[in-house]
Each structure stands twice: as C-alpha cells, then as structure tokens.
C-alpha cells in the first residue's frame, strides 16, 4: 500500500508535484487533449490519470462505426433543432473523423470505407417514405460537407444478397466507415507518450480539491497529485466526481460471433432507428444495442449484462440478421457512454482551473478528437 508519506523525494517531485495539467481519463477525449496541449505548450508537464489498465469506459469498448448520422437520426434531431444546427453537428462529426484519420492514419486505424446501411422493417414503411422524401435535400446539404455528389442512396436490391429477414428497405450511406477502436487507442496513447505525456494507469481520482494556488487530486492508494489545471475527460463516470453535471451514464451491451464462413455482408448497419447496430469485423459479426428496452436499468456506470438485452440480441441475430446462417457467440462485453438531453458535449471551465470535456453520446469516435483538442485550446487560452 502506497501513500503520500512513503513516496520517495524523487517520486514526489518528478511525478506527483507541480504538474501544469492533469487530465482525468485516458479515453479518446483525454488523450487528444493531452496531445494538443503538448503541441501548444511543449514545456508543460502533462499527465493523465486513468483508473483502468486501459481506458476502460467506452473508447476501447465501442463498435468502431466511423459515422456522422443516419437519415432517421438526422430527421429525429430536426424535431428539436434547426436544420442549420443539425448540419453544423454533422459537419463537426465529419471534421472530427478526418482529424482522427489524419492524426492516427488509416492503416493504424484499420479504417475501411465500406459505408453504412440503415435498415427499415416492414412496420417502418412511413419512416422510410419520410427519408425518401428528404433524400435529395439531405444529399444537397451534405455535398459541401462531405464533398461527395450523393451520400445517401436507396439500395433495396442488397436485401437478398445480405440474407436479412423482415427488412423491407435499405438506405446506404457512402461516406461512413469502420475502424478498430483498440488500434485507435493504442496509437493515440503511443503518440501522447512520444510527446512526453505521462499516463498513469490504475489511478482512480476520488476527490478534487480546488485550492488557492493549485488543484489537488486525491486518489486511490492514498496518492495525491497536484496541478495548476485539471481536465475531467471522464464521460459516463463524471457524476461520481461532479454529481450536479448533467451527464447520464448509459451502458451498452455488445456481442461478437466466432468467424462465419461466407458472411454475406460487410459494412456498418443501423437497425430499429439506431437502437441496434451491427457490423462485420473481418468475417465475424459485432452486434449491440437495445438500451431502450430497459432505459432506467441501463442508466448505470457499472459494467455488466442482463438476460433481457442478451436474449433480444440473440433473437434478432437468429430472426433478422443471420436467419439462415449458423454462428457461435465468441464473447460479450459492455461499455459506458455519457449522454444527456442535449447532444453537445459539456466543454467548459466549471470552476477556477477545472475544466470538463464530457457527454460524448454515441458519436465519440467521430467527435472525440475535436472535443479533446478544443478542451486543450480552452485551457491554454483561459
């Protein structure tokens, strides 16, 4: 058991004291903030405190969709926001993805531009008609953002190729892709360490004390870190440190199959208005979602599974996605997102020298890089 009294002089002065910025959370947001800070202020001492062995939250546990919004999702957003606001958010996601791809490189991300499909069930005919009516207009708006002549396209002919059951229509998005979140984070951690960022794993911040001249972070094992400024990049776990911030944890349960010979599809797929999502990972199927089946129970920051959601995912695999293909499940996992009534991240200075970059929703792969970088800019400029 360590505590501050038995740290050596060298440990205390080199690692724990007089840090310029401490970042809590080593996910996509925290790590990008650290990289940007080192670019802006190469001499600043910057450390990340991550409670997991890896960034065990969402960044290494997500589905790896490089997406910016399906048609039904954009239409849904239009109910509460103006068209300009909705497409400004799309542009931000798109720019975030380009920034991530430039920073990490497509090879390291294992990025595949295989596009994404939205599936419509027989009972969703009217939703499909609404999408169809908006298709040309959306493509027009996206032209300037994505620089492709048409992003969305109806591709009903693919239904029989893919072997789905109970699906009446497919809308293809030409501009979305998929990546490997493990490789993404591995490379980002290497870039940060290369620039001199210290990453401490297994360190959980338990309390933040804002003092006159510095901020003290009290951690497990009795450890104490001191810094001029602190950034919380704790997303779905933020309420544990800041109970009043409007970030609700949202657990997502996921499975992956064993390899399937002759898997008939590749790409990313949004089903049931995005409540379920699946993709190929090589010749395996990754499948997750169903949070809407038990909304309150899934508003938790504890990892885990429920038979209700597991059974639903298996049922949809058997009946809709792989109705004629034998498969075996390889593993299950869960991840925690941070959501709220608004889709924007909470990127601000919440108290003298304490900043937040949290509430990434279901699009953190797309916006995480920019949100982290904007947090760094804010910390340097205020």
> Cβ of residue 136: shortest distance to ligand FAD, in angstroms?
27
> Cβ of residue 160: shortest distance to ligand FAD, in angstroms?
27
Tally of residues, the chain: 382
Q: Angle CA(206)–CA(207)–CA(208) in degrees, nearest 5?
A: 140
> Cβ of residue 358: shortest distance to ligand FAD, in angstroms?
6
346 binds ligand FAD (CB under 6 A): no
27 binds ligand FAD (CB under 6 A): yes
368 binds ligand FAD (CB under 6 A): yes
Pick the piece of the chain touching ligand FAD (CB under 6 A) from 13-21, 227-235, 306-314, 348-356: 227-235
Q: Angle CA(120)–CA(63)–CA(61) in degrees, nearest 5?
A: 145
> Cβ of residue 181: shortest distance to ligand FAD, in angstroms?
7
Q: Angle CA(301)–CA(306)–CA(311) in degrees, nearest 5?
A: 140
> Cβ of residue 231: shortest distance to ligand FAD, in angstroms?
11
Do 40 and 32 contact (CB within 8 A), yes or no? Answer: no
285 binds ligand FAD (CB under 6 A): no
290 binds ligand FAD (CB under 6 A): no
204 binds ligand FAD (CB under 6 A): yes
Q: Within 13 A of 330's CA, how many CA atoms are on the CB side? A: 11
69 binds ligand FAD (CB under 6 A): no
249 binds ligand FAD (CB under 6 A): no
* Lookup: tokens for 182: 């493990």
Of 75 and 254, the one with the shorter C-beta distance to ligand FAD is 254
> Cβ of residue 44: shortest distance to ligand FAD, in angstroms?
20
309 binds ligand FAD (CB under 6 A): no
Of 365, 368, 367, 369, residue with least CA distance to 177: 365
Question: Greatest CA span in the chain, whole angstroms?
Answer: 69
Cβ neighbours for 378, distance < 8 A, ≥ 6 positions apart: 347, 348, 349, 355
288 binds ligand FAD (CB under 6 A): yes
Site string for ligand FAD, 115-154 (x = CB under 6 A): ----------------------------------------
Of 137 and 207, the one with the shorter C-beta distance to ligand FAD is 207
Single residue of 34, 72, 108, 252 touching ligand FAD by CB under 6 A: 252
d(CA 228, CA 215): 6
Beta pairing class for 224-232 and 19-24? parallel
The whole-angstrom distance between residue 190's C-alpha and the CA centroid of its chain comes to 19
Of 159 and 305, the one with the shorter C-beta distance to ligand FAD is 305
The alpha carbon torsion through 187, 10, 219, 347 (nearest 10 deg) reads: -50
> SS3 of 216, please?
strand
In this structure, how many other beta carbons lie within 10 angstroms of the beta carbon of residue 184? Answer: 28
96 binds ligand FAD (CB under 6 A): no
Q: Which residues bind ligand FAD (CB under 6 A)?
A: 24-30, 49-52, 55-59, 61-65, 67, 204-205, 233-237, 240-241, 252, 254, 288, 335-337, 360, 362-366, 368
């Amino acid at each position: 058991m360590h505590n501050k009294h038995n740290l050596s002089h060298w440990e205390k002065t080199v690692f724990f004291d007089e840090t310029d910025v401490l970042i809590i959370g080593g996910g996509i947001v925290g790590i990008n903030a650290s990289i940007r800070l080192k670019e802006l202020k190469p001499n600043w001492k910057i450390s990340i405190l991550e409670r997991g062995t890896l960034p065990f939250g969402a960044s290494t546990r997500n589905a790896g969709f490089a997406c910016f919004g399906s048609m039904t999702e954009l239409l849904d957003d239009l109910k509460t926001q103006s068209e300009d606001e909705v497409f400004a958010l799309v542009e931000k996601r798109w720019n975030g993805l380009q920034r991530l791809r430039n920073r990490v490189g497509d090879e390291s991300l294992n990025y595949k531009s295989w596009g994404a499909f939205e599936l419509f069930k027989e009972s969703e005919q009217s939703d499909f008609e609404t999408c169809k009516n908006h298709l040309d207009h959306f493509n027009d708006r996206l032209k300037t953002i994505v620089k492709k002549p048409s992003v969305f396209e109806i591709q009903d002919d693919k239904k029989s190729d893919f072997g789905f059951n109970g699906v009446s229509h497919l809308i293809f998005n030409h501009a979305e892709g998929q990546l490997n979140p493990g490789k993404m984070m591995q490379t980002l951690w290497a870039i940060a360490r290369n620039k001199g960022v210290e990453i401490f794993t297994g360190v959980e911040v338990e309390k933040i004390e804002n003092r006159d001249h510095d901020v003290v972070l009290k951690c497990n094992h009795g450890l104490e870190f001191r810094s001029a400024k602190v950034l919380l990049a704790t997303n779905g776990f933020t309420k544990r440190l800041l109970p009043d911030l409007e970030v609700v944890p949202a657990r997502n349960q996921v499975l992956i199959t064993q390899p399937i010979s002759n898997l008939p599809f590749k790409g990313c797929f949004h089903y049931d208005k995005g409540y379920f999502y699946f993709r190929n990972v090589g010749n395996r199927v990754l499948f997750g979602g169903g949070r809407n089946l038990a909304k309150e129970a899934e508003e938790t920051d504890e990892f885990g599974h429920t038979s209700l959601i597991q059974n639903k995912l298996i049922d949809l695999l058997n009946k809709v996605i792989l109705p004629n293909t034998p498969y075996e499940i390889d593993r299950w996992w869960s991840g925690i997102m941070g959501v709220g009534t608004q889709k924007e991240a909470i990127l601000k200075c919440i108290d003298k020298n304490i900043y937040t970059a949290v509430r990434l929703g279901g699009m953190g792969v797309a916006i995480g890089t920019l949100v982290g970088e904007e947090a760094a800019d804010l910390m340097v400029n205020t």
